[in-house]
Chain A
Amino acid sequence: MLLIDCPYCGPRAELEFSYGGEAHIVRPKDPEALSDAEWGDYLFMRKNTKGVFLERWCHSHGCRRWFNVARDTVTYEILAVYEMGSEPPALPERNLV
C-alpha cells in the first residue's frame, strides 16, 4: 500500500485515496469542432508508461481534494506531488517516457 503525501493533509495510506488516471488531459474547449477520431483520442486513449507517470489522485476519505502525482510505475516511488492546475516539477529526464 502506497504512502501518498496529500498536499493538503500530509502523508496518508493509499486506502484513503482514489485513483484518477493520467494527469494533464485537458477537456477540449469546443468538443463539437473535433472529429470523431480526435474526440475518441481525448476520451479513450491513455498512456501506459513504464517509468515516471503523471497521474491524478483524490483524497476521497480525507479532504476530498484532487491533486497530481509523479510516480514511477516500476518502483512505485512517488517523485513529486503537486497541485491541480500547476505544471509538473522538473523530474529526471531519462525516466520520462
Chain B
Amino acid sequence: MVQRFRLPEGGLIDRSRPLEFRFDGQLLEGFAGDSLASALLANGIHLVGRSFKYHRPRGIFTAGPEEPNALLQLGEDPRTDPNSRATQTELVEGLSARTQNCWPSVRFDVGEVNSLVSRLFPAGFYYKTFMWPASLWMQYEAVIRRAAGLGKSPTRRDPARYDKTFAHCDVLVVGAGPAGLAAALAAGRSGARVLLVEQDHSLGGSLLGDPEDRIDGLPALAWVAEAEAELAAMAEVRILRRTVAYAYNDHNYVLLHERVTDHLSGEPEHLPRHRLWKLRAKQVVLAAGAIERPLVFADNDRPGIMLASACRTYVNRYAVKPGERAVVFTNNDSGYGAAIDMRAAGMQIAAVVDLRENPEGPLTDAAEAEGIRVLAGHAVTGTQGRLRLSGIRVAPLNAEGDRVFGAGEPIECDLLAVSGGWSPTVHLFSQSGGKLAWSEEQGCYRPGEAAQATLCAGAVNGAFGLAGTLREGHQAGEQAASAAGFPPKQSKKLHFEAGDESFLPARWLWLVPSDKPLGRGGKAFHELQNDVTAADLHLALDEGYSSIEHVKRYTTTGMGTDQGKLGNLNAIGIVAERLRRPLPEVGVTTFRPPYVPVSFGAFAGRDVDELLDPIRKTAMHGWHEKNGAVFEDVGQWRRPWYYPRGGETMHEAVNREVEACRASIGILDASTLGKIDIQGPDSAEFLNRVYTNAWSKLGIGRCRYGLMLGEDGMVSDDGVTARLGEQHYLMTTTSGNAAAVLAHLEEWLQTEWPELRVYMTSVTEQYATASISGPNARALMAELTDDIDLSPEAFPHMSLTHGTVAGLPARVFRISFTGEAGYEINVSARSGLALWQALVTAGEKYAITPFGTEAMHVLRAEKGYIIVGQETDGSVTPIDLGMDWIVSKRKDFVGKRSLSRPDMLLPDRKQLVGLLTEEPDTVLPEGAQLVEQLKPEPPMTMLGHVTSSYYSPNLGRSIAMALVKGGRDKQGQRLWAPLADGRKIACSICEPVFVDPKGERLHA
C-alpha cells in the first residue's frame, strides 16, 4: 500500500485522510482529494485498459472529461457504472474499479492478437466484412459486441434514486475557472440570479493545475477561495459542483447533470444519486475552457504517453509523479510548463522535443534557462515499450515538416508528455446553434456569431492568457447581467493583474512524419478511444469519401463515448492536408449533446413503475378488485375486462356474462366514457357543425347518437349527446378519446368559429356511471326509484330524466350499447360505489351479473355497433361503415365536402361487412387478412381485414366484422383468411347485424 509515486509534499489532497480502494481486485491506497486516475498513478499504475479494436495496452492519457482510455467499470452489480472516466471519478473509501475490454486480464489480453492481424480491420471494416449474407448479421453483431465491448450494464434493477428538477436564472455561467469565476462575480454583484456550474468538485479550473499563478498579488488558489467566499455570500448566486452542462438547446434551455452522492461513501436517504436540471437561463456565459490536443505520430498510444497539461495537473494538483524520466513533445510554448513543473517535482527531463524550428515563448525561455535539453525542429518518430513506455526515437525534421532525417536518436524514458496546442471547448456553443470560426493563428475553431443569448469568455473564446481571461470573464458577466436587467452597480475595482502569456506561436503539423511510411512503422492514432489511425483516414479518402461527415462515420472517428474531444480536429487537419485544401473548407463535424455521457437513471428520474404513467380508476374500482375482475388498460383508464368465477377461463367467463345480459340483467361500470358539458346559446349550431347529423330539433330530455369526422371526412369519434336544457348539452365520447375530442372541439370553436357563444368543460371525472341492461333492467330500476316513470311511453329509448336512484340524486339515460333495454345511471363520482352496491344487492334476485369490456364488445358486435378505433383506423368514412343514414344532406359539417372527393366515391373502397365462418366454432383472429382467391403461398391479393371477431354464446357460433373492398356488393360471397400458422379459414360475407336486427329488445 505504498504510494510510490506520491510526492512528499504539496498538492490539493488531504494526506490525513487515506482512502482504500480496489483496482481489478488489488487493494490500493490514495488520499481524499484524489481522482481515481491520480490515485492509480500514485501507485505507479498507468495501464488501465485495452483498446477497442486492436486490444493495444492503453494508459491514463488525460486528467479530465476528454479521457479516451481510462474508462473503468465502477462498483458491483447492480450498483455499477460502465465506461466511467477515472480522471473524473472522485476517490472514495471502498471504491471498486475494474478494467473493461480485456480477457483474461489487462496485462495479458487474448484480444491483443487483433493487433497482429490489424490489416483485417481497415477503415470501414464493418461495412466490408459483414456485408453478406445479411441473414447472418445478428450473429456477426453478437461476436463483434463481445470482442469490442465497452463496460457492462447492470443486470439487475438499479437501487439508487434519481431526480429531475426545473430551474430559472438570469445568468448561467458554465465553468468555474478564472473566466467563469470572474463572470459569476460580475453578474452576482449586479444582483442578478446567477447559477455557476462546475463539473469538478473544486472551483478554479485550470488554476487547480497551475497554482504558481498570481492574481492581484494573491496566489491563484487564494484568489479562488476569496471569489468562492464572496459568491457563497450572495443570496441570488448558486454554485453547483460536480455538475456538467451537457446540452444547450433552443431558447437558452440548458440541461445539467449533477452527481449528488457519488463522492460519498454510502448513500444518504434524503438525497438522490444524480439530479437532472432543466434550466432556462436569460443569458448564458460559456467559460468552458479549452482541451489540449495530442500530436499524431507513430505509436503515440502507449501507456506512459500523456497530455502535457495532464502531467502538470498530476504533479501540481495531486502531488503525483506520472513517471521518473520524461520527454516532452510539443509544438508550442505550453509544453515547457510541464517540463519545468515535473523537474521541480524531482523528475528527470530527458529532453523537450519541439516541432518548432525556432522555439520561443516565456516558458520556453525559462526551460532553456534551467538547462533543459531542447531539440528544436525535431519530431518523435517512434516509441517502444509494451505495457509501459520505455523509450522513444527522435529525428530532425525538414523545413516543410513532411519528412525526417534518419532513423533517429533513441532516448530512454517512461513518460512522454505531448502538447499539440489547444482546442476551445466549443461544444455547447455549437449545440446552441452558434457558428464556429477558424483561427489560423491559434490553430483552432473558436466561437463565432452566437445564435442565442450567449457570451463566451476565456479559453473557450481563444483567450489563453490569464489576465485576458479574467477581464473577458468579468466583462461577459457584466454584459450578461445587464442584458438580463441588472446593470452593474458601483462595485469594487477589479485589476486582474496576472500573467498573460499564451502558448503561441505554434507550428501546426497535423500528422508528424516518421522515417517509415504511414501505416508501416507503427500506428499513428488520432482517435484513441475508437482505435482509428491517420492511415485509416487516408484509406477512406482514397476510397472516395471526401465529406468530413462521411469520413467520420466510415472510420468511426469521434464516435466513441468521448465524441472526439481529443481527436476530431487532428482528423480534420489530416484530411485537409491529404485533400490539399485549406482546413476550414473541410468543415467541422457536428457537436451533439450530451457533452459527456449522462446516466440513464438521471433521464428516467422518478418516472418509473407506477409513476411512469398515471393510472385512472373509477369510483367502483375497489369493488371490481374485490370481486376478482381482470383489468385491461383503455387509455390511462383501468377497466374490468371480465370477472372470472371459480376456475373459469376467460372464454367461459365472457360467455356467462354475455348470456346473462341477454337472459336477465348485466351491470357495467361505464364511468370512463368521456363526458363534455356544452352550454351557451349557440350550442345546437355548434353541434350541427361538428357532427354529421342534425341537432337543432333534438328535444330537451332526448338523446341522439352522433358521428364526428375530421375535415378529411374520416370518422374520428362517436357517442351519444343529450339535451339537458334549452342551451345545455352533455356529450359523451369514447373512453380513450375524451381529451382529444375536447381539444378538437375547442380548436374549431376558438380558431374557426369564435363568433359562436359556446362553452365546454370536461365532466368525465365528476360523474360515476353504472350501466344496467337486459330484460330485467326495468324491473330492477323500479325497485330503486319511486320518482321516475319507467314506462316506455314516459321514458323511451334515447331519452333521459332526473330523479332519485337508490336514494341518490341521479341523471338516468335510457340508452344501450348492448342491444338490450338499458339504463345508464349517473351519480356524483363520490356516490358511485354506493350506487353500484345498491344495484348489485337489489339485483341479486335477478342474478345480476357484472360484465367487463370484453362481454360489452361481444354484445355490441352481435348488434353490429362499431367501435371507433377498432372498426375505424383513420381511413374510414361513415359511408364505408354503411352509416349514410346519419350523414345529413342538408347542412354543412366538418368533413362533409371531403366525402364527395373522387377517392371517396370509388366502388372498391373498404366497406364494413359481417363475416360468418363456415366452421361455426372457429373464431377468426382480429387483423386477419382476407382474400378471394386462395393460393398455396403469398402473395395473394388482399381484399381487407377482420376488425372485430368473437364467439357469440347467444348464437352458439363465431361472428366477425371486417372491412372488405367493395364488400357491400359481395353479400354471401366466400372469402378466405389464410393465417400465419398455415390454417386457411373459409367464411362468407353477411350483414353486420347478428342479433335482433329490428331492435325489438332495445325498445322493449
Q: Which residue of A lies closest to B255 (CB)?
A: A1
Residue numbers in B under 8 Å from A39 (CB-CB): 897-898, 901
Residue A45, interface by CB 8 Å: no
A76 to B251, Cβ gap below 8 A? yes
Residue numbers in A under 8 Å from B898 (CB-CB): 39, 43
A64 to B746, Cβ gap below 8 A? yes
Q: Interface 1/0s, chain A 36-70, versus B by CB < 8 A?
A: 10011001000000000000101010001110000
Cα–Cα distance between A39 and B892 once the two chains are bound (Å): 14
Given contacts A31-B892, A31-B897, contact A1 B752 (CB under 8 A): no
**Count the A-B residue pairs with Cβ separation under 8 angstroms: how many?**
56
B897 to A56, Cβ gap below 8 A? no
Cα–Cα distance between A13 and B166 once the two chains are bound (Å): 11
Instruction: Report, as a range, how many residues of chain B touch the other chain.
Output: 20 to 34
Residue numbers in B under 8 Å from A26 (CB-CB): 752
A43 to B250, Cβ gap below 8 A? no
B251 to A40, Cβ gap below 8 A? no
Residue numbers in A under 8 Å from B897 (CB-CB): 31-32, 34, 39
Q: Interface 1/0s, chain B 860-898, versus A by CB < 8 A?
A: 000000000000000000000000000000001000111
A1 to B251, Cβ gap below 8 A? yes
B280 to A13, Cβ gap below 8 A? yes
Cα–Cα distance between A64 and B749 once the two chains are bound (Å): 12
Residue numbers in B under 8 Å from A32 (CB-CB): 892, 896-897
Output the least CB separation between B170 and chain A (Å): 14
A2 to B251, Cβ gap below 8 A? yes
Residue B633, interface by CB 8 Å: no
A75 to B451, Cβ gap below 8 A? yes
Output the least CB separation between B253 and chain A (Å): 5
Residue B114, interface by CB 8 Å: no
Name A4-36 residues within 8 Å CB distance of B.
13, 18, 20, 26-27, 30-32, 34, 36
B754 to A2, Cβ gap below 8 A? no
Residue B711, interface by CB 8 Å: yes
Residue A3, interface by CB 8 Å: yes
Output the least CB separation between A55 and chain B (Å): 12
B746 to A75, Cβ gap below 8 A? no
Residue numbers in A under 8 Å from B751 (CB-CB): 20, 56, 66, 84
Residue numbers in B under 8 Å from A76 (CB-CB): 250-251, 433
Q: Interface 1/0s, chain B 464-499, versus A by CB < 8 A?
A: 000000000000000000000000000000000000
Residue numbers in B under 8 Å from A27 (CB-CB): 711, 752
Cα–Cα distance between A60 and B746 once the two chains are bound (Å): 10
Cα–Cα distance between A78 and B252 once the two chains are bound (Å): 13
Q: Number of A residues contacting the other chain (C-beta, 8 Å)?
A: 27
Residue A85, interface by CB 8 Å: yes
Residue numbers in B under 8 Å from A40 (CB-CB): 901
Residue B743, interface by CB 8 Å: yes
Name B931-960 residues within 8 Å CB distance of A.
none
Given contacts A43-B712, A58-B743, contact A36 B451 (CB under 8 A): no
Residue B837, interface by CB 8 Å: no
Residue B368, interface by CB 8 Å: no
A75 to B253, Cβ gap below 8 A? no
B251 to A66, Cβ gap below 8 A? no
Cα–Cα distance between A3 and B711 once the two chains are bound (Å): 30
Cα–Cα distance between A3 and B282 once the two chains are bound (Å): 11
Output the least CB separation between B903 and chain A (Å): 9
Partner of A3, one of B251, B451, B712: B251
Output the least CB separation between A86 and chain B (Å): 11
B892 to A66, Cβ gap below 8 A? no
Cα–Cα distance between A31 and B902 once the two chains are bound (Å): 15
B746 to A1, Cβ gap below 8 A? no
Q: Which residue of B lies closest to A33 (CB)?
A: B897
Residue numbers in A under 8 Å from B737 (CB-CB): none
Residue B118, interface by CB 8 Å: no
Output the least CB separation between B429 and chain A (Å): 15
Name B136-183 residues within 8 Å CB distance of A.
none
Cα–Cα distance between A76 and B248 once the two chains are bound (Å): 14
Name B731-777 residues within 8 Å CB distance of A.
743, 746-747, 750-752, 754
Residue numbers in A under 8 Å from B746 (CB-CB): 58, 64, 66
A3 to B280, Cβ gap below 8 A? yes
Residue B249, interface by CB 8 Å: yes
Q: Which residue of A lies closest to B893 (CB)?
A: A31
Centre residue among A32, A60, A66 by max chain B CB count within 10 A: A66
Cα–Cα distance between A1 and B166 once the two chains are bound (Å): 13
Given contacts A13-B280, A56-B751, contact A3 B253 (CB under 8 A): yes
Q: Which residue of B lies closest to A56 (CB)?
A: B751
Centre residue among B746, B897, B901 by max chain A CB count within 10 A: B897
Q: Which residue of B lies closest to A26 (CB)?
A: B752
Given contacts A20-B747, A31-B897, A58-B747, contact A85 B253 (CB under 8 A): no
Residue numbers in B under 8 Å from A31 (CB-CB): 892, 896-897
B754 to A84, Cβ gap below 8 A? yes
Partner of B750, one of A1, A36, A84: A84
Output the least CB separation between A94 and chain B (Å): 18
Name B245-296 residues within 8 Å CB distance of A.
249-253, 280
Q: Which residue of B lies closest to A3 (CB)?
A: B251
Q: Which residue of A lies closest to B896 (CB)?
A: A31
Output the least CB separation between B698 and chain A (Å): 24
Residue numbers in A under 8 Å from B896 (CB-CB): 31-32
Output the least CB separation between A11 and chain B (Å): 9
Cα–Cα distance between A41 and B533 once the two chains are bound (Å): 55
B251 to A85, Cβ gap below 8 A? no
Given contacts A36-B902, A43-B712, A75-B433, contact A85 B754 (CB under 8 A): yes
Centre residue among B252, B743, B751, B902 by max chain A CB count within 10 A: B751
Residue numbers in B under 8 Å from A13 (CB-CB): 253, 280
Output the least CB separation between B688 and chain A (Å): 14
Output the least CB separation between A75 and chain B (Å): 6
Q: Which residue of B lies closest to A28 (CB)?
A: B897
Cα–Cα distance between A2 and B634 once the two chains are bound (Å): 32
A1 to B892, Cβ gap below 8 A? no
B747 to A66, Cβ gap below 8 A? yes
Partner of B250, one of A1, A56, A66: A1
Residue numbers in B under 8 Å from A1 (CB-CB): 249-251, 253
Residue numbers in B under 8 Å from A2 (CB-CB): 250-251
Q: Which residue of B lies closest to A60 (CB)?
A: B743
Output the least CB separation between A3 and chain B (Å): 4
* Known A20-B751, A32-B892, A84-B750; further 13 A-B contacts with Cβ < 8 A: A1-B253, A31-B892, A31-B897, A36-B902, A43-B711, A56-B751, A58-B746, A60-B743, A65-B750, A66-B747, A66-B750, A66-B751, A75-B451
Binding site for A on B (CB under 8 A): 249-253, 280, 433, 451, 711-712, 743, 746-747, 750-752, 754, 892, 896-898, 901-902
Binding site for B on A (CB under 8 A): 1-3, 13, 18, 20, 26-27, 30-32, 34, 36, 39-40, 43, 56, 58, 60, 64-66, 75-76, 78, 84-85
The 3 closest A-B pairs by CB, nearest first: A31-B897, A3-B251, A66-B750
Could you list 18 A-B pairs, sorted by A, with CB under 8 Å?
A1-B251, A2-B251, A3-B280, A13-B280, A27-B711, A31-B892, A31-B896, A31-B897, A32-B896, A36-B901, A40-B901, A43-B712, A43-B898, A58-B743, A58-B747, A66-B747, A66-B750, A75-B451
